[in-house]
Amino acid sequence: MIRKNPSGHLPIVHESAFVDPTAILCGKVIVEENVFIGPYAVIRADEVDEKGEMEPIVIKAGSNIQDGVVIHCKAGGGVTIGRATSIAHRSIVHGPCTVGDNVFIGFNSVLFNCTVGDGSVVRHNSVVEGCHVPPGFYIPSTTNVHSDADLANIQRVTGDATSFSESVVMANLSLVQGYNRIRNEF
């Protein structure tokens, strides 16, 4: 479902993107080309700052927002999801937040008020808030990162993790093409 927010903003979705009919996109949301948005995802840009303004939620080209993901912003803050990035099932990305290009965010992870650099991997059930994760970091499953100082013990991304992240992006690009091909059969 595509709908306006109380400020009157309507999502802008590129014609090559696939948004599952059960997903909800509300407000100042921009979805670029070849993006996959899975079942029951909620992407909602509707809160304003003290001046009545808000930044958009931007999902860049070739990314995938999987089943049950929630993306939202507080007090007018924005969220940017970079190119060829995967946000896995039931994750929450709460802005202000920037996720770089070629990033993998694992199942049930929570990102809040943070930046995740290009090529990073945040594995399943992790929490990242209030910090800046540099490019190429690997945050293991169930890790909680609440400050830049917590990153001192975090390792760099391995070739296996990068390969896995790329395979998820490719699988979801295939889904975009497949679902768009059968779009009128729903």
Q: Fill in the DSSP letter of residue 138.
A: E
pLDDT computed for residue 17 by the predictor? 97
Q: What is the DSSP string of 55-112?
A: PPEEE-TT-EE-TT-EEEESTT--EEE-TT-EE-TT-EEEEEEEE-TT-EE-TT-EEE
Percent of the chain at pLDDT exceeding 90: 75
What's the half-sphere exposure (Cβ side, CA atoms, 13 Å) at 178? 7
Stretch among 21-25, 56-60, 108-112, 133-137 having the lowest mean pLDDT: 133-137
Q: How many domains does the chain have?
A: 1
pLDDT computed for residue 186 by the predictor? 58
pLDDT computed for residue 151 by the predictor? 82
Cβ atoms within 10 Å of 176's Cβ, excluding its own: 19
Q: Fill in the DSSP letter of residue 147.
A: S
Query: The domain that contains 110 carries what CATH number?
Result: 2.160.10.10
Host domain of residue 164: 2-185
pLDDT band at residue 152, thresholds of 50, 70 and 90?
confident
pLDDT computed for residue 108 by the predictor? 97
Closest CA to 140 of 102, 167, 104: 104
Q: Is position 32 annotated as part of the catalytic site?
A: no
From 33, 47, 55, 166, the catalytic residue = 47
The larger pLDDT score, comparing residue 178 to residue 94, is at 94
Predicted TM-score of the model (pTM): 0.90
Cβ atoms within 10 Å of 63's Cβ, excluding its own: 28
The larger pLDDT score, comparing residue 57 to residue 163, is at 57
